[in-house]
């Protein structure tokens, strides 16, 4: 009789521990960007990119314009989002700071005027 009681107690204990482990592993999350914009006017002070994963099925690009200083979600499918994503991926592979992606790009055909130093 006592052997059956110990077996049932052990099974109950295993069941309780398994249920607690399963409950502690499940943390529901949602995407940070419910609405996205195709284009955001710069310059930007900050860039955050969250790769897609189990909690959100798409990449998320969050930029902070210097004027408003409020984070804005940018569409990863738009041309601006693709450009930032490409730059961010390059910086991650090279191991350099992703802040260089925030610098304005020089347009083709425009030369930078250098200031002449007169003594």
Q: Which residues contact 79 (CB under 8 A, 6 or more apart)?
A: 39
Residue that is written with structure tokens 């041309």 in the block: 79
Hey, which CATH number is domain 44-98, 2.40.50.40, 2.40.37.10, 3.40.50.150, 3.40.630.10? 2.40.50.40
pTM of the model: 0.61
Domain boundaries, the chain: 44-98
Residue that has been written with the tokens 């910086």 in this structure: 91
pLDDT score at 22: 46
Residue 78 and residue 68 in contact, taking contact as beta carbons nearer than 8 Å: no
Specify the pLDDT at position 61: 93
pLDDT by position in tens, the chain (length 119)? 677 766 656 656 555 655 454 445 555 568 888 899 999 887 889 999 998 888 888 899 999 999 999 999 999 999 999 999 999 999 989 888 888 888 776 666 655 555 556 65
Q: What are phi and psi of 83, to 5 degrees?
A: -65, -45
């Amino acid at each position: 009789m006592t052997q059956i009681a110990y077996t049932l107690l052990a099974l109950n204990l295993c069941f309780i521990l398994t249920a607690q482990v399963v409950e502690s592993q499940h943390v529901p999350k949602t995407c940070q960007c419910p609405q996205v914009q195709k284009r955001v006017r710069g310059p930007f002070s900050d860039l955050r990119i969250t790769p897609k994963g189990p909690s959100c099925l798409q990449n998320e690009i969050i930029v902070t314009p210097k004027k408003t200083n409020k984070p804005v979600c940018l569409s990863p499918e738009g041309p601006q989002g693709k450009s930032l994503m490409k730059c961010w991926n390059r910086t991650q592979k090279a191991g350099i700071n992703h802040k260089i992606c925030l610098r304005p790009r020089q347009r083709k055909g425009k030369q930078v005027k250098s200031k002449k130093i007169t003594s």
